[in-house]
Amino acid sequence: MAAKFQIRVFGKQGCDKCHTLNQRLDKLLSKSEYVDFEKVYCDVETIDGLVAFSEAECINPSRIPAMVVTKWNEAEAEYEPVSTKAPGAADTVCRKSKLYQYVGLQTDYSDSGKGVISPKMIQAVLAEALED
């Protein structure tokens, strides 16, 4: 049976921040409260990864690594992005890293974001997906 949620992580080979995001997700997903989630890594330097990235439609290519949460749609037999309940609303945890349209994150390389996707940000996004 498919997991209820699939987290699609977009990154590329040799990217330290991509490696860190994957490690943080793996650590969180090993906990029992995240049993409904699975992670799929999409290398944007491959055809399959680039197609998945393009289908996400909402991630800025210069803000990789990024992640988007999808939910299994039984009727369509595929995963679909989880929509954000309040697009554009201020978020004190995720700030400018939060995706606008879908539940997910992209790296904020500004001086305030410092290029960090923290475990707290990831947990906030997963909690939002669980509310769906």
Tell me what pLDDT residue 1 has: 60
Domains annotated on the chain, with CATH: 5-130 (3.40.30.10)
Q: In whole numbers, what is the pLDDT of the chain averaged over residues? A: 94
pLDDT category at 71 given cuts 50, 70, 90 is: very high
How is residue 130 written in tokens? 């669980």
pLDDT category at 129 given cuts 50, 70, 90 is: very high
Tell me what pLDDT residue 15 has: 95
Q: What is the pTM of this model?
A: 0.94
Name the nearest CA neighbour of 67 among 130, 121, 131, 132: 121
Tell me what pLDDT residue 81 has: 96
Q: What is the 3-state secondary structure (H, E, C) of 41-96?
A: EEECCCHHHHHHHHHHCCCCHHHCCEEEEEEEECCCCEEEECECCCCCCCCCCCHH
CA distance 96 to 110: 9
